[in-house]
Amino acid sequence: MTLDKRLGQRFLPYGANWLDWSDMTELREVIDHRVLFRYQTETESMASRLERVTCERLGAAHTLAVHNCTEALRLALIATRPRIGDRVYMPAVTFVAVAGAVLSCGLIPVLVDADDSLSLDPTLLPADAERVIVAHMEGTVATLPEGVPYLIEDCAQSLGARFPDGRSVGTAGYAGTFSFHHNKILTSGEGGLVISNDEQAWAAMRRYHDHGSARVPGRYPTWNEDAHYGENFVTGEQVAAVQCQQFRHLDELLEGLERMYAIAMRDLPDRADLEVRPRAAGDAKVSLRFRCRDRALRDAAVAALTAEGIANWTLNKYLLPEHPVLTGRRSIYADGFPWNFAPEGSLMLSHDGFARTRDRLDRTLCVPLAPELPEAEQVAAVKAIRRVLEAV
């Protein structure tokens, strides 16, 4: 198989390439134990092991494993004990699941425009903002606002990234959320984590994620005297086992990304009209992000890369001011809940109606890096990308 053909088929991203039966020791342990529910055993469950390992790796006081990152965002919001209709300031450039998490909690999303990095622009936030979600998109470490009591970091696309002071993303605010969706840095198909250094926040999230009670391992079902209603977000042992296997390879994966990024920055063509946007030292270098002269050049580059079987994507789909859930205030409820608690008028903060952000997205092209490849093949892959882009 040629290198270009291999690149064309590597839509299995990042951690998926480390999935191998010979390496699935945690999953084999779970199957041998024949217990797939985390609270069925008095010994350390696999989910508890995952939470312990991720606390150590990320430098967090508390971690909770859940089904997906949307649930993690919901738990973080619920733990703030909001009132129905409270506003949550969130990025205008991110996946719609963030808005869905806000709305499903009965809260109102306010879209905040992006800065040049395509992260939330903290200068647009009002001084009294209480709840803010900042997304670390595409491995980029976003600038965080100061003085926000309930700052939630959405780290779905940036597991392993670090702030300039060395802290892991997700640990600087009230809570941090992570995703193990198929297209993330590590994967179990679906899966999520929420972390916090706030003891009370973690306790509230732990109760809510299992029907309002803090379960005692090995004594399920039991109920706390102060139980309240909640939902079932409890992860399974087999999913946690795959995530433990993935975490064992996180540093190896990040090193592979760093190596290929360095090769690309050295060898890619120096074109002012097709600029590779530099990444900061702490970013998780999941892709090469190009800023093209105009959309026509971007679309030509997309067509050329696709014709050669080289994976690539654009980011226009993340512009939430154009999503029908936001533009039409769509709801599954007959009374429009929770939009019926929203004020009339715009719930969007931008200096120019998102014109600059639309333009940046129209000119942005991303090409994923391949951390699983040995260095010689990474060099060849970069040369293939260069050959295509030089001809555009």
Residues paired with 232 in a beta bridge: 210
- Other CB atoms within 10 A of residue 75 CB: 30
Q: What is the mean pLDDT of residues 200-204?
A: 95
Please tell me the distance from the alpha carbon of residue 63 to that of residue 197, in angstroms, as a whole number.
Answer: 9
Residue 11 has a pLDDT of: 59
pLDDT score of 209 more than 50: yes
* CATH 1.20.1560.10 for domain 250-316+354-391: no
Residue 42 has a pLDDT of: 85
Please tell me the distance from the alpha carbon of residue 158 to that of residue 253, in angstroms, as a whole number.
Answer: 12
SS3 387: helix
Closest CA to 153 of 165, 255, 167, 166: 167
Count of positions (residues) in the chain: 392
Phi, psi of 230 (to 5 degrees): -155, -160
CB-based contacts of 98: which residues, under 8 Å, 6+ apart? 73, 90, 91, 109, 133, 135, 154
Which residues participate in catalysis according to the annotation?
Answer: 184
The beta strands (E) that lie in 140-254 are given as: 150-154, 175-179, 192-196
Please tell me the distance from the alpha carbon of residue 89 to that of residue 67, in angstroms, as a whole number.
Answer: 24
* Whole-number average pLDDT of the chain: 94
Which single residue is written with the structure tokens 């719930």? 347
Residue 206, sorted as left (phi over 0), alpha (psi -120 to 50) or beta, turns out to be: alpha
Please tell me the distance from the alpha carbon of residue 108 to that of residue 338, in angstroms, as a whole number.
Answer: 7
pLDDT score of 222 more than 90: no
The beta strands (E) that lie in 140-190 are given as: 150-154, 175-179
pLDDT score of 199 more than 90: yes
Name the token pair of 95: 């996946």
Q: What is the mean pLDDT of residues 136-150?
A: 97
Residue 10 has a pLDDT of: 52
Could you report the per-residue pLDDT of 285-321, keeping only the tens digit for each?
999 999 999 999 999 999 999 999 999 999 999 999 9
CB-based contacts of 376: which residues, under 8 Å, 6+ apart? none
Which single residue is written with the structure tokens 């999913």? 239
The single-letter DSSP state of residue 284 is -
Query: Based on the number of CB atoms within 10 Å of its own CB, is 325 exposed (0-12), middle (13-18) or buried (19 or more)?
Result: middle
Question: Are 338 and 259 contacting, i.e. CB atoms less than 8 angstroms apart?
Answer: no
- Predicted TM-score of the model (pTM): 0.95
pLDDT score of 4 more than 60: no
Please tell me the distance from the alpha carbon of residue 386 to that of residue 322, in angstroms, as a whole number.
Answer: 33
Query: Based on the number of CB atoms within 10 Å of its own CB, is 390 exposed (0-12), middle (13-18) or buried (19 or more)?
Result: exposed
Q: What is the mean pLDDT of residues 116-120?
A: 95
The single-letter DSSP state of residue 340 is G
Q: Pick 16-247's CATH classification: 3.40.50.970, 3.20.20.140, 2.60.120.200, 3.40.640.10.
A: 3.40.640.10
- Lowest pLDDT segment from 10-24, 27-41, 120-134, 189-203: 10-24
Identify the band that residue 220 occupies on the pLDDT scale cut at 50, 70 and 90. confident
Identify the band that residue 349 occupies on the pLDDT scale cut at 50, 70 and 90. very high
Residue 12 has a pLDDT of: 66
pLDDT score of 228 more than 60: yes
Please tell me the distance from the alpha carbon of residue 332 to that of residue 115, in angstroms, as a whole number.
Answer: 32
Residue 6 has a pLDDT of: 47
Residue 168 has a pLDDT of: 98
Name the token pair of 330: 């769509």
Identify the band that residue 156 occupies on the pLDDT scale cut at 50, 70 and 90. very high
Q: Which residues of 80-105 are buried (b: 16+ CB within 10 A; e: fewer)?
A: bebeeebbbbbbbbbbebbbebbbbb
ω into 221 cis (within 30 of 0): yes
Delimit the domains of the chain by residue range.
Answer: 16-247, 250-316+354-391
Could you report the per-residue pLDDT of 40-99, keeping only the tens digit for each?
988 899 999 999 999 999 999 999 999 999 999 999 999 999 999 999 999 999 999 999
